[in-house]
Amino acid sequence: MTPLALVALTSFVAFLIYFFLNFSNRYPRPLPPGPKPWPIIGNLPHLGPVPHHTIAALARVYGPLLHLRLGSVHVVVAASASVASQFLKTHDANFSSRPPNSGAKHIAYNYHDLVFAPYGPRWRLLRKICSVHLFSGKALDDFRHVRQEEVAVLTRALSRSGTSPLNVGQLLNVCTTNALARVMLGRRVFESDDGTGNRKSDEFKEMVVEIMVLAGVFNIGDFVPSLEWLDLQGVAAKMKKLHARFDAFLNKILEEHKVKGGGSGRHTDLLSTLLSLKEDADGEGGKLTDTEIKALLLNLFTAGTDTSSSTVEWALAELIRHPDVLARVQQELDSVVGKDRLVTESDIAQLTFLQAVMKETFRLHPSTPLSLPRIAAENCEINGFFIPKGSTLLVNVWAIARDPAVWPEPLKFRPERFLPGSEHAHVDVRGNDFELMPFGAGRRICAGMSWGLRMVLFLTATLVQAFDWVLPEGQTPENLNMEEAYGLTLQRAVPLLVHTRPRLAPHVYCATSTAQ
């Protein structure tokens, strides 16, 4: 059979599947409303280049509980806080696993990681390891000095910057990656005395961004299985190539750690603990394999670095666009901390306005605009509509945080809305308030939320305290580009380029601790 005949036969089979699903199935109650699907590919053409925007627009037409048919897959979208709470609280147990997808298959070691692993014993084991050894309150306190040392290195580098504008995102990524690597591996992965990174760190950020971009693509093969082998968008091929690069990076880390004896004696870093669990079963999950260790490291290196650095970059951009807000944050820092020392993590609790600024940044620029997908284990009913078993759930976190029914003037950057005495003073970002959930909610809430919160608050506080921020010649705060580049995480379409001007006593920038 010729390739053309194969394509024709595949298309015919796909059409039959589409016909059967659309005209043969009858459900006991109606499906949620949504736009009429196209033959075979369903509503995939409706998603556009920035899906969280277009899905939000569809929800304004059809309602906050939206149904899409992507190929042969039912997809339901929650686009309001009340609908999201139905899925992530009332029916959370039914939506605790991930649907099949090419990213988990080709990048995340075929579902052997924490992010995409099916809900069950192995997932609980990986989650427990992270919760106890990396993200518990004690672990976060024990490694506070690491975060402070790496942020101090970045601060010193920025104080010595020359006349060329700095790419803030790249520098932030070096800082967040080295801080997390020291906790995970016991060492930096990007050795650089001046804290500005090098070619290796630039390549790493490019790999992480590419993972997030590819993972955010609505791949036709995921929704029309009969077309998967064609890889019409070339996504699977790119994923396999990128996986090979990351696997080589992680293999090198594992081998170096084993050679240096990192897995013996007292466990001072996460990788040593993980390697010890290859021999000693831990609870119901059993022993770990090298593949699971690499998959977990992959999760942490991608989700734990790029999201934090991007959030801080968005925060700085908003503060530059709003000089009055920036001045108010600096005034608060000067009052609480002064100008003779750098802010510390223990100061953050007293910085009420800074915390409000970060909440507003999370609201307008959530690191994951569309939640990672979940799948319905059984049929259920939401707001009188039928949700079939096997449906994929997406929560439009971006749209919910801009809902005008909840947020007055939702497109404006107004940190005051979170100050004590204001309408949204009670709203937190830890997954209990569904109108603002940048880390998700329910059983599959981001495992690294506590680390991420500490990192972005402390990093933003330090940079705002230590420097005035000036745009390159020809740019003004009013015309600063704030366009988004869509991916699994929300990147800036145009990197933030700035000049920094130290605003503290000169000795502060020299008093940095030496990293181990």
Binding residues for heme: 446
DSSP codes joined into one string, 306-365: HHHHHHHHHHHHHHHH-HHHHHHHHHHHHHHT-SSS---GGGGGG-HHHHHHHHHHHHHS
Nearest to 351 by CA among 465, 443, 514: 465
Residues annotated in the binding site, as ranges?
A: 446
> Alpha carbon of 171 to those of 182, 194, 259, 492: distances in Å?
17, 11, 30, 15
Nearest to 149 by CA among 351, 333, 342, 350: 342
Quick check: helix, strand or coil at residue 410?
coil
DSSP codes joined into one string, 362-389: HHHS-SSSBPPPEE-SS-EEETTEEE-T
Quick check: helix, strand or coil at residue 232?
coil
Beta bridge partners of residue 200, listed in sequence order: none
Dihedral sign for Cα atoms in the order 7, 213, 396, 35: negative
Nearest to 168 by CA among 155, 179, 178: 155
Question: 96-100 contacts: CB < 8 A, separation 24 or more?
Answer: 96/374, 96/377, 96/442, 96/443, 96/444, 97/374, 97/375, 97/377, 98/372, 98/373, 98/374, 98/375, 99/73, 99/222, 99/373, 99/374, 99/375, 99/390, 99/392, 100/222
Question: Both tokens of residue 349?
Answer: 């609790």
Burial class of residue 36, CB neighbours in 10 A (0-12, 13-18, 19+)? exposed
End-to-end CA distance of the chain: 63
Cα gap 422→272, rounded to integer Å: 47
What number of H helices and E strands is found in the chain?
Answer: 18, 11
* Phi, then psi, of 420 in degrees rounded to 5: -50, 135
Cα gap 283→280, rounded to integer Å: 10
The torsion region of residue 109 among left (phi > 0), alpha (psi -120 to 50) and beta comes to left
Nearest to 226 by CA among 13, 22, 439: 13
Q: Are 153 and 512 in contact, with CB atoms under 8 Å apart? A: yes
Q: Are 459 and 488 in contact, with CB atoms under 8 Å apart? A: no
